[in-house]
């Protein structure tokens, strides 16, 4: 995979605060790459470093083989879609999309033609004469996307662009963005705190915490084989067993991860008691006390579900207990 964006030992400080701490990353050309982490984890600062809105304190960044340090944003082969869309309310949709081309000095007829093509690409053909206030949230998001694409960047940077949308529209836009990325073949770098978005859309995901990259991998790898307790808890809410418990259950002293959906309730297994239950639609989330261990299980809501206080037996396969080398 040919590199599109490379971080080499990149750090960024704001006074005494370390926002990015020695990050090494390689994002491939044509890859849908997600940066996932909680607020303050460094993911958005990394995106701003790629865009050119910030400069690294130390380290080196390359974008399509060119040194990024000192290169202004408008000279980089990237464009950004912001969370708040940043549309001009006094301009038409067409002029919003064409704005960057106008700044470059492109003739009105040519830039409007390109803007119409970009609007058609995001399924907004015929909307060019409207103002942003006349559009829904999802339509404004598409306008922002068209404006970022019209300049034909090699990479598109997306800073939590779906955060303001309701659940149904957010799910629709996830599918549309994924399909658009495959259609165009561009490198997409997508920043989010929502693990569902990252896992459903990205080819690979980098999980951030406190300015550092904790793990990079395909969604299934992060889900099933987290490298540390932080990744196990943050990506999908795995049960994390302390080394003492893992030694008792698996014969090896290390942190261990156990997926909630791998826990079975039946006639066999370890004695347990149900201490909590939450209905999630297609699933029920049970909290169990398993011989002093707090274990969360996910069961189909269509089948029999024990009640809080019931004595049950909990079981899982030996292969479902994933031992992790990383500490907290």
Would you tell me how many other CB atoms lie within 10 Å of the CB of residue 148? 21
User: Residue range 121-150: average pLDDT?
Assistant: 90
pLDDT of res. 141: 87
What φ, ψ does residue 92 adopt, rounded to 5°? -70, 165
pLDDT tier at 136, thresholds 50, 70, 90: confident
Would you tell me how many other CB atoms lie within 10 Å of the CB of residue 60? 13
Contact criterion met (CB below 8 Å) for 190 and 198: yes
pLDDT of res. 199: 94
pLDDT of res. 83: 79
pLDDT of res. 254: 92
**How do residues 261-295 score in pLDDT, each as one tens digit?**
999 999 999 999 999 999 999 999 999 999 899 99
Average pLDDT value over all residues in the chain: 92
pLDDT surpassing 90 at residue 16: yes
pLDDT tier at 326, thresholds 50, 70, 90: low
Q: Report the C-alpha gap between 92 and 89 in whole angstroms.
A: 8
pLDDT of res. 263: 95
Give percent above pLDDT 90 in the chain. 77
How many residues are given for the chain? Answer: 328
pLDDT tier at 171, thresholds 50, 70, 90: confident
What torsion do the CA atoms of 279, 285, 289, 290 make, to the nearest 10 degrees?
Answer: 140
What φ, ψ does residue 51 adopt, rounded to 5°? -70, -25
Comparing 27-36, 47-56, 101-110, which segment has the lowest mean pLDDT? 101-110
pLDDT surpassing 90 at residue 24: yes
In degrees, to the nearest 5, what angle opens at C-alpha 267 toward C-alphas 266 and 269?
Answer: 80
User: Residue range 152-160: average pLDDT?
Assistant: 93
**CATH numbers and ranges of domains, the chain:** 3-230 (3.40.50.300), 238-317 (2.40.50.140)
pTM of the model: 0.91
pLDDT tier at 172, thresholds 50, 70, 90: confident
pLDDT of res. 328: 59
**How do residues 180-221 score in pLDDT, each as one tens digit?**
999 999 999 999 999 989 999 999 999 999 999 999 999 999
Query: Which residue has tokens 């579900």?
Result: 305
User: Residue range 120-136: average pLDDT?
Assistant: 91
């Amino acid at each position: 995979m040919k590199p599109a964006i490379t971080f080499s030992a990149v750090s960024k400080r704001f006074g005494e605060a370390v926002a990015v701490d020695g990050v090494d990353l390689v994002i491939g050309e044509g890859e849908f790459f997600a940066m996932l982490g909680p607020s303050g984890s460094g993911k958005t600062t990394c995106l701003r470093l790629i865009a050119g809105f910030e400069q690294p304190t130390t380290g080196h960044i390359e974008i399509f083989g060119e040194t990024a340090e000192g290169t202004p944003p408008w000279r980089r082969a990237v464009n950004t879609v912001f969370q708040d869309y940043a549309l001009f309310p006094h301009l038409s949709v067409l002029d919003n999309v064409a704005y960057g081309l106008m700044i470059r000095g492109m003739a009105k007829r040519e830039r409007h033609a390109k803007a119409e093509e970009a609007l058609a690409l995001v399924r907004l053909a015929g909307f060019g004469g409207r103002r942003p206030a006349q559009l829904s949230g999802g339509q404004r998001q598409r306008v922002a996307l068209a404006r970022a694409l019209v300049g034909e960047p090699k990479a598109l940077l997306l800073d939590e662009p779906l955060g303001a949308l309701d659940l149904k529209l957010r799910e629709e836009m996830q599918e549309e963005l994924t399909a658009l990325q495959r259609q165009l073949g561009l490198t997409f770098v997508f920043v989010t705190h929502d693990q569902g978005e990252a896992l459903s859309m990205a080819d690979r995901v980098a999980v951030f915490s406190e300015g550092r990259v904790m793990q990079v991998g395909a969604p299934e790898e992060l889900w099933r084989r987290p490298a540390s307790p932080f990744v196990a808890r943050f990506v999908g809410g795995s049960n994390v067993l302390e080394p003492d418990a893992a030694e008792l259950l698996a014969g090896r002293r290390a942190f261990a991860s156990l997926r909630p959906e791998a826990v079975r309730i039946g006639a066999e297994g370890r004695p347990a008691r149900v201490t909590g239950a939450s209905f999630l639609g297609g699933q029920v989330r049970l909290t169990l006390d398993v011989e002093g261990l707090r274990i969360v299980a996910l069961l189909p809501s269509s089948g029999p579900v024990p009640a809080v206080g019931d004595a049950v037996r909990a079981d899982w396969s030996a292969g479902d207990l994933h031992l992790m080398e990383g500490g907290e």
